[in-house]
Amino acid sequence: MDYQWSDGLWKPQADDLNRLMEVSKPGTRIGHQAPTGTGKTRKAVELFLWAQSQGLGGIFFVNRKILIPQTLRQLEAAGLHTGVRAAEYEDMFDADAPFQVSSAPSEHARVYKSQKWQLHEMPPGSIVVVDEAHLQKSKVMQNLVYYYVNAGCRVILITATPVGMKKWMDQCVVGAPLKEWRDVGALVPVYTFTISQPDMRKVKRNATGEYLMDDRKRRYYTQHIVGDVLAGFKQNDRGNGTMLYAPCVKSSRFLVQEAAKVGIDLIHVDATEAIIDGKEYSLTRTLWDDVIGMVKNREVHGLSSRFKCREGLDIPQADLCILATPVGSLASYLQICGRIMRASPGKTDAILQCHGGSYWTHGSCNVDQDWQSLWQLSEHAASTFHQDQIKNNQEREPIRCGECGMERRSGNTCPKCGFKHEKSVRKVVQEDGELKEVTGNLVRKKRRKEMPDTADLWARMFYGFRNKRLEKSFSQLEAWFFRTHGYWPSRNLKFMPRHAIDWKAKVYEVPMSSLIGSSKEKLH
């Protein structure tokens, strides 16, 4: 395209914008994956400036109303005439402004229910941005997206973690690799130190991949690791801001209380309350701004929460994240890591102090994910992909240094302390609270074999699943084979996926051309 983006953009930002505009056409829904801290709102501003140059309009849907003021400031600073369409911001309502910052629930309620507003109408080709799109997958947003697509707008759904988005996007434009963002100074590397981790091998997961732990187990686990959490903080804290994540609200309150006893000043926050210096306060918008300011001004060591601080929190100087909880969701894990990956003056790296086995579960947050494939999978499938790769010998289990606890992907020498060792050493908290030291791999590999009739049995099962269009993945087909025949088949058979990611896809959705030695002829 001939349009010239504003001066001062990082090269990866300009490259992402060019890719977006190449595929974004009137009446399309285009996803855009961009890591946290790489200026997603800045890109939206650039898209709106382009729209303004074409005589078009735009609307920016925030996922939380608390983000409206900072978003509005960025749009107005760029010279964009902008109104606000959200409850509690009626004083900023401007129906005639060509650009709007909006909350989807407010928009829906006032347009469809109360009919207080008219929908923000824009010329075909205008830009609609849905920020943190993975969090806005509601029926309300779906109605709004369909309206703007049918009106001929370009809908762009931006998120750092596009999982479970297949029904929302026509295609996904994956942003520049993480290394490019580190090279331009937008992000810093994160070093992970696993202090201890719970034994989660038998714990089930929900639809998003999160572990299903009841409150008793959460509190029990917290009580057994509190000493390690506080000791790790004293070792890793550099005074720039800490984000602590607990398994439940009660655990967060408990950890803040215990931290105060040893001189560590943390503020607990949840959806409605904050605990500051042992006193409870209603978490208003004004108090939330004050709390963020206290961390930025180094008046307190940091924040503790369960979900409140996982996404949308902008404290670039923060360089220590304490995961005092297992995180089963890949999207949540990467969003949490994103809180400390943002660059800041004088900040060269960040530390993930892990007590939940997240590196073991999901791998390094410094490595690019296969978003071009993952966005089409369910949240559960995306969250279990890394572990399945290890189980099926497609990927090596990570190595934890037995001396300093730092995680690495390979090699026999720790890059942090120089300790040489061949096997990983982990401290695993059992269900009864006992701490067990485990040497070597934690993931049990699947033993596979091939019998004389294995290929034929697999082919018949494959066509049974495919022809009936069962809502089952290849991994589920394989599990059904195991339950039926008592062994795991070799993964080199005809009609098995060529690519690892397709094992998580539904059998009837994977093209025959993507299967080993396939043809379109049915077996009889």
| pLDDT score at 117 | 81
| pLDDT score at 111 | 81
Pairing status of strand 279-282 against strand 273-276: antiparallel
| pLDDT score at 335 | 93
State the number of CA atoms in the 13 A half-sphere of 384 facing the CB.
25
| pLDDT score at 521 | 44
Structure tokens at 47: 């898209």
Segment 289-299 shows an average pLDDT of 94
Segment 145-168 shows an average pLDDT of 94
Segment 281-309 shows an average pLDDT of 92
DSSP code for 4: P
Segment 65-72 shows an average pLDDT of 86
Question: Between 299 and 431, whose confidence is greater?
Answer: 299
| pLDDT score at 216 | 75
Please enumerate, as own/partner, the contacts of 371-376 that have beta carbons within 8 Å and a separation of 24 or more. 371/33, 371/162, 371/172, 371/174, 372/172, 372/174, 373/499, 373/501, 373/502, 374/162, 374/163, 374/330, 374/501, 375/31, 375/33, 375/162, 375/163, 375/165, 375/166, 375/169, 375/172, 376/165, 376/166, 376/505
SS3 171: strand
Angle in degrees, 0-180, between the axes of helices 249-261 and 215-236, rounded to the nearest 10: 40
Segment 343-367 shows an average pLDDT of 94
Please count the other Cβ atoms lying within 10 Å of the Cβ belonging to residue 386.
20
Site of tokens 């963002």: 181
Task: Identify the burial level of 284 via C-beta atoms within 10 angstroms of its C-beta, where 0-12 means exposed, 13-18 middle and 19 or more buried.
Answer: exposed
Confidence band (pLDDT; 50, 70, 90) for 434? confident
Segment 290-295 shows an average pLDDT of 94
Segment 108-117 shows an average pLDDT of 80
Distance between start and end Cα atoms, the chain? 53
| pLDDT score at 245 | 96
pLDDT of residue 113 exceeding 90, the answer is no
pLDDT of residue 108 exceeding 60, the answer is yes
Supply the pTM of this predicted model: 0.87
Check if the beta carbon of residue 437 is closer than 8 Å to that of residue 424: no
| pLDDT score at 159 | 95
| pLDDT score at 27 | 96
Question: Between 51 and 439, whose confidence is greater?
Answer: 51
Alpha-carbon span 300 to 278, nearest angstrom: 13
Instruction: Quick: pLDDT tens for 219-246.
Output: 778 888 899 999 999 999 999 999 999 9
Structure tokens at 149: 């697509």
| pLDDT score at 314 | 83
pLDDT of residue 522 exceeding 60, the answer is no
Backbone torsions φ then ψ of 17, nearest 5 degrees: -65, -40
| pLDDT score at 432 | 67
| pLDDT score at 440 | 79
Question: Between 107 and 422, whose confidence is greater?
Answer: 107
Please count the other Cβ atoms lying within 10 Å of the Cβ belonging to residue 129.
25
Question: Between 437 and 355, whose confidence is greater?
Answer: 355
Angle in degrees, 0-180, between the axes of helices 454-467 and 474-485, rounded to the nearest 10: 130
Q: What is the mean pLDDT of the chain?
A: 91
Segment 399-415 shows an average pLDDT of 90
- Amino acid, res. 292: I
Confidence band (pLDDT; 50, 70, 90) for 519? low
- Amino acid, res. 496: M
